[in-house]
Amino acid sequence: MLACALSVLTLHLAQASSPVAPAEPTRVVCLGDSITAGARIVQPERLGWSAQLGAWLNEDPGRSDVEVVGFGVGGATLLAKGDRPIQGTKAYTDALAKACDHFVVMLGTNDTVQVGRGNWEKADDFVGDLGALCAAARERSPEATVWIVGPPPMFADARGLDDARVASLTARAPRRIELAKRAKAFAEATPGVEHISLDGVLTAQRTVDGVHPDPFGHEDIARAVHSRLAAAMGREVAALRTLQPAPSAEYRSGAGWGGTWWDAFRSLQALPESLDEQPEVVFLGDSITQGLTGHGTRHFELGQRPAVSLGLSGDRTEHLRYRVRRGALRRLEPSLIVLQIGINNLNAAGHSAEDTAAGIRAVVGDLRGAHPSARVLVCGPFPAGRTPGSELRRAVDEVHRRIADVGVGTESAALGGAPQVHYLDLRGLFLTEDGAPGEAMAGDALHISAEGKRRWKERVLRWTEQHLR
């Protein structure tokens, strides 16, 4: 593993709303090597696995009481006699100095290196040094649980590796497996110590060099750690990924916004400050919704009604749940929220129609809780796929079958004598009579064209004229 400068990553996510934070938050300390430091990713303070873990643990603004502090040292070994032992670093000293409830250790990757570093020949000391580290953590925080994560998998078959890298990882991969077995056996035999396997969690496609995760690989690690820590904290962990509120790990310029998803989210939260008047209608969703205006201006006129688009390219139901719960519409008081979400769950994430529909219903529930005076118009995902019988089209149709009754018989049934949640099936706007993508669909048979945007806004406008006074 390439060396990198010591990186100390601290995340303490403040509540999006204003309640005073608890005086004694639950504290999680994470100690590791360059993977924990967030080497080779942008904004590790946001997209590193420990930072993402902190965001996940603080997804509920009503209980944002977890502090996650990450310490990562490039090239560090767990082996005390390794060439760069973690025990001799400031990060190690600082991590142990913090009283905590959970101490998370992810080390061992560099202990597999032999050529040029001579670490693997000392591997017989691995369990003893691991025990000493756990004992030191428990001495500072006797009630803390120590979580040993991994070591993470490494992949000699990752794309773009040169021959030397392939040879190195081919030799190291089985050593990593052996260290993971030893770590697991140690945890099983030691009170107060737990092991979290990353086998099957991290994939070659989610690494940049066969070892270091990309932001989505960090997300996968965060998800695995979160499921265990949240359960240990007595918090409910959603059974479905479509239901678990989470920030996105997106970082791309092609989406119409530079920087990270976090940058885009924060800019949307600040949007009300630039508006001359409160929007009556808010469109909420993914890139299709973002495409109504682009990422810049965001506001437009829907007939005579001021409206804004709060779509973010790439968003899925779980990302939208996080945004809504963390104040996506704060300082906005819309009469109507138009919800269009779900295609990225089906197409990009491979979620089932059943799970995607459950995620859409959960977003509606969040909107009802956060904005009880607004009506919610549920459009569901728009058509996708080039033929009516394509797998993606059938999945979209199944989602609609499962959400068609979203506004029927709910507790929100009446506001001024009218239903609060409405379902509006717009699929026919974008298709020809035989079910093929029409002129309202873009060439990728996934997004909508300028004509599609016009039809969508026109149809919503007609709905508002009939239902909003």
Q: State the pLDDT at residue 90.
A: 98
Report yes or no: 273 and 292 within 8 Å, Cβ to Cβ.
no
Dihedral pair phi/psi, residue 282, rounded to 5° = -120, 125
Nearest one of 399, 402, 409, 412 to 367, comparing CA atoms: 412
Please report the pLDDT score of residue 356 as a whole number.
98
Counting residues of the chain whose pLDDT is more than 90, the rounded percentage is 84
pLDDT tens digits, one per residue of 336-353: 999 999 999 999 999 999
| Maximum separation of any 2 CA atoms in the chain, in Å | 77
Tell me the backbone φ, ψ of residue 431, rounded to 5 degrees: -120, 155
- 7-232 with 261-467: one CATH topology? yes
Q: Give the lowest-confidence range in 99-103, 131-135, 264-268.
A: 264-268
Give the domain 7-232 fold: Rossmann fold (3.40.50)
What is each CA distance from 372 to 4, 105, 401, 461, in whole angstroms? 49, 43, 26, 22
Question: What token pair was written down for 297?
Answer: 């201006």
Q: Is the pLDDT of residue 314 over 60?
A: yes
Neighbouring C-beta atoms of residue 77, cutoff 10 Å: 27
Q: Would you give the distance in Å from CA 246 to the centre of its chain? A: 4
Question: Model confidence over 168-191: pLDDT tens digits?
Answer: 999 999 999 999 999 999 999 999
Q: Which two tokens stand for residue 110?
A: 């560099």
pLDDT at 5: 39
Q: Mean pLDDT across the chain, nearest whole number?
A: 91
Band of pLDDT at residue 258, cut at 50, 70 and 90: confident
Residue-range domain boundaries for the chain: 7-232, 261-467
Segment 315-344 mean pLDDT: 95
pTM of the model as a whole: 0.89
So what's the pLDDT on residue 434? 93
Find, among 133, 62, 139, the residue nearest to 327 by Cα: 62
Overall average pLDDT of the 207-217 stretch? 97
pLDDT in tens, 121-141: 999 999 999 999 999 999 999
The three state secondary structure string of the chain is CCCCCCEEEEECCCCCCCCCCCCCCEEEEEEECHHHHCCCCCCHHHHCHHHHHHHHHCCCHHHCCEEEEEEECCCCECCCCCCCEHHHCHHHHHHHHCCCCEEEEECCCHHHCCCCCCCHHHHHHHHHHHHHHHHHHHHHCCCCEEEEECCCCCCCCCCCCCHHHHHHHHHHHHHHHHHHHHHHHHHHHCCCEEEECCCCCCCHHHECCCCCECHHHHHHHHHHHHHHHHHHCCCCCCCCCCCCCCCCCCECCCCCCCCEHHHHHHHHHCHHHHCCCCCCEEEEECHHHHCCCCCCCCEEEECCEEEEECCCCCCCHHHHHHHHHCCCCCCCCCCEEEEECCHHHHHCCCCCHHHHHHHHHHHHHHHHHHCCCCEEEECCCCCCCCCCCCHHHHHHHHHHHHHCCCCCCCCCCCECCECCEEECCCHHHHECCCCCECCCECCCCCCECHHHHHHHHHHHHHHHHHHCC
Q: What is d(CA 324, CA 299) in angstroms, rounded to the nearest whole number?
A: 19
* CATH code, residues 261-467: 3.40.50.1110
